Amino acid sequence: MLAHRLFVTGGWRQDFRQHTVSIADFEVTSIPSQEKVLNVHKQVLTDFGHRGRVTCLQVKQWADGNVMVVTGSAQGAVSRMRFRVPLAPGSALDQIQMVDPDTDTDAGILCRWQHCHTDTIAAVDINAEKQQVLTAGIDGQLHLLPLDWDPGSAASTSQTCYSDQKGYVSYFAAQWSSMDTFVTASTTGGLQVWDTRKRSCRQSDLKWGLTGAPQDIGKGTARQIYSVATHPSQPDKCVSGGSNETVAVWDLRFAAAPVAASTGKQNAGDVWQVQFDADYESGTAPSPPILFCTDDGNLCRVDWAGHGAAALNQMQDNEQQRYNSSSNGHVSDLLTEASTVHGFDVDGTDIVAVVEQECMCYIKRRSQTF
Residue numbers at the binding site for other proteins (CB under 8 A): 12, 14-15, 53, 74, 118-120, 138-140, 165-170, 172, 186-190, 206, 210, 218-222, 224, 226, 243, 267, 269-270, 272, 295-296, 338-340, 356-359
CB of 55 to other proteins, least distance (A): 9
| Smaller CB separation from other proteins, 149 or 172 | 172
| Smaller CB separation from other proteins, 109 or 229 | 229
| Smaller CB separation from other proteins, 108 or 242 | 242
Q: Distance (Å, rounded) from C-alpha 218 to C-alpha 8?
A: 39
Indicate the residue type of 283: G
CB of 47 to other proteins, least distance (A): 12
The contacts of residue 63 (CB under 8 Å, 6+ apart) are none
| Smaller CB separation from other proteins, 72 or 190 | 190
Q: Distance (Å, rounded) from C-alpha 144 to C-alpha 63?
A: 23
Q: Distance (Å, rounded) from C-alpha 58 to C-alpha 133?
A: 10
Nearest residue to 276 via CA among 298, 305, 248: 248
Task: Classify the C-alpha dihedral 261-266-268-270 as positive or negative.
Answer: positive
CB of 168 to other proteins, least distance (A): 4
CB of 39 to other proteins, least distance (A): 15
Q: What count of other Cβ atoms lies within 10 Å of the Cβ of residue 178? A: 16
| Smaller CB separation from other proteins, 73 or 181 | 73
CB of 296 to other proteins, least distance (A): 7
Task: Classify the C-alpha dihedral 191-205-254-247 as positive or negative.
Answer: positive
Q: Distance (Å, rounded) from C-alpha 1 to C-alpha 38?
A: 10
